[in-house]
Amino acid sequence: MSINRVNISGNLTRDPELRATASGTQVLSFGVAVNDRRRNPQTGDWEDYPNFVDCTMFGTRAEAVSRYLQKGSKVAIEGKLRYSSWERDGQRRSKLEVIVDEIEFMSRGNNQGGYGQEAAGSYGGGYAAPAHQPAPAPAPVQAPPAVDVYDEDIPF
């Protein structure tokens, strides 16, 4: 038995790129930076080492989600890994990316002070706006109280 599930949270490294395939399927590509925290052997101090993860999302959700994301947005993602390889200029190339199944917005966006499309800030599973109607307007969401816990405070 094998399991192919990935859960990451981090910040977008660039603005998302929305494009369409020849058949019209929407494809959203973006990068997420996640930190690996480990002790520096020379100083003994804890340090963050970034990992950069390519993420891809497909379908009508990709278009809708693209309106809420920008460079620096903090997100939590659940998905699966996909390995791709190709040859360019005689060089063999490959990459490992996350195919996004679920995404949760974890930082404020440019949507009237709310946290995302839905009250919980998540955007996944089965949403499909009709092509002839605009997507529903986000419901007003009251911002949660500020929390004094940051990624730097967590020792792993």
Give the pLDDT score at 145.
59
At 51-73, the pLDDT tens digits run 999 999 999 999 999 999 999 99
Give the pLDDT score at 43.
93
User: Using CB atoms within 10 A of its CB, is residue 23 exposed (0-12), middle (13-18) or buried (19+)?
Assistant: exposed
At 67-101, the pLDDT tens digits run 999 999 999 999 999 999 999 999 999 999 999 99
At 96-121, the pLDDT tens digits run 999 999 999 998 654 433 344 433 34
Whole-angstrom Cα distance, residue 51 to residue 66? 22
Give the pLDDT score at 1.
86
Q: Minimal CA–CA distance to 65: which of 117, 110, 10?
A: 117
Q: Minimal CA–CA distance to 8: which of 69, 78, 82?
A: 78
Tell me which fold the domain 6-153 belongs to. OB fold (Dihydrolipoamide Acetyltransferase, E2P) (2.40.50)
Whole-angstrom Cα distance, residue 25 to residue 62? 9
Percent of the chain past pLDDT 90, that is, above it, reads: 67
Query: Where do the structural domains in the chain lie, given as residue ranges?
Result: 6-153
Residue 9 contacts by C-beta under 8 Å, 6 or more apart in sequence? 34, 74, 75, 76, 77, 106
* DSSP assignment string, 23-85: T--EEEEEEEEEEEEEE-TTT--EEEEEEEEEEEEESHHHHHHHTT--TT-EEEEEEEEEEEE
SS3 65: helix
Percent of the chain past pLDDT 70, that is, above it, reads: 69
Give the pLDDT score at 110.
47
Listed ranges 74-88, 118-132, 139-153; the one with the highest mean pLDDT: 74-88
